[in-house]
Amino acid sequence: LPVEEWPLALEKEPEEWQLKYRFPKPTDDDIVILHCRTCRRSAWAAQLAADAGLRQCLVYRQGVYGWRLSPTVKAYSSYEVGDVPPEPEQFEKEYIDVDSAEAELRSLGIF
């Protein structure tokens, strides 16, 4: 979800959110993980989310470059405003194991 849409998105009804973004609107009990390149926009988005009643917003403080801690994660090609975006790269879809994810968050004391 683009951060510039976040303030108005938080005001949308769940049905309107689902239609626009094609995933369910987070509820007050959902864990929401926010990230951006440098952490500034995600920290701002987390404050907006908290103000809107979302109680479990986590910010990935290392930003998108933090994912490079794992050699299995490929860095993406960034570009500046006004530049032509790089061509998309092919990747294999990764499926989420919700139970394992929750167990990891519990082990870290954040869930």
Q: Which of 31, 34, 23, 33 is nearest to 55 (CA)?
A: 31
Helix (H, G, I), strand (E, B) or coil at 102: helix
The set of residues, in sequence order, having a beta carbon less than 8 Å from that of 79 and lying 6+ positions away, is: 85, 86
Q: What is the CA radius of gyration of the chain?
A: 16
Name the DSSP letter for residue 88: P
Taking only the tens place, the pLDDT of each residue in 4-40 is 999 999 999 999 999 999 999 999 989 999 988 878 8
The whole-model pTM stands at 0.59
The distance between the two most distant Cα atoms of the chain, rounded to a whole number of Å, is: 43
Q: From CA 48, how far away is CA 100, in angstroms rounded?
A: 28
**What is the pLDDT at residue 69?**
62
DSSP 4: G
Amino acid 73: pLDDT: 66
